[in-house]
Amino acid sequence: MSVLGIGIDVCDIERFGASLQRTPALAAKLFVGDELGRPVSSLAARFAAKEALAKALGAPAGLEWHDAEVVCEESGRPRFELRGTVAAAADAAGVRSVHLSLSHDAGVASAMVVLED
C-alpha cells in the first residue's frame, strides 16, 4: 500500500458552537445520522474530519457534506462511511483505505486523514 493523500484540519470549538447557534440550519447541512446528536466538541472534530478528508482528496469540486459521515465502531474508533460524491472522488483517486484520527482539547478540535491505495 502507498499513501495517496494526507489531510489535517483544526476547528476552534467555541467559534464553531457560536456558528451553529447563529445559523440553526448549519448542523443539518453539515451532519447526518448519529452525528447530529453529539456535543459541540464532537461536532467540531467531525467538521474538521470532513475538511481533512477533502484536503486529502485534493479538494475536488462538488463534494457533499452528507456524503462523508463519521461513525464510531464498537471500540469507539472513528471511521468514515463514504457515499455519493465523496465515494466517487475516492474511487477515482484509487483510494482503498481511509484512516481517521480525531481529537479535541484546550478548545480546539482536530482531525487527520490518511488515504491509501
pLDDT in tens, 62-105: 999 999 999 999 999 999 999 999 999 999 999 999 999 999 99
Contact 40, 64 (CB under 8 A): no
Give mean pLDDT, residues 108-116: 98
Cα 13 from Cα 110, distance rounded (Å): 10
- Provide the whole-model pTM: 0.95
Quote the cell numbers at residue 87: 465515494
**Segments forming the whole domain that contains residue 107:** 3-116
Number of domains in the chain: 1
Contact 26, 35 (CB under 8 A): no
Cα 57 from Cα 14, distance rounded (Å): 28
What's the confidence (pLDDT) of residue 54? Answer: 98
Query: Is residue 5 pLDDT above 90, yes or no?
Result: yes
pLDDT of 17-54, one tens digit each? 999 999 989 999 999 999 999 999 999 999 999 999 99
Residue type (1 letter), 97: S
Residue type (1 letter), 18: A
Neighbours of 61 (CB within 10 A): 6
Query: Is residue 12 pLDDT above 90, yes or no?
Result: yes
What's the confidence (pLDDT) of residue 39? Answer: 96
Domain of 102: which CATH number? 3.90.470.20
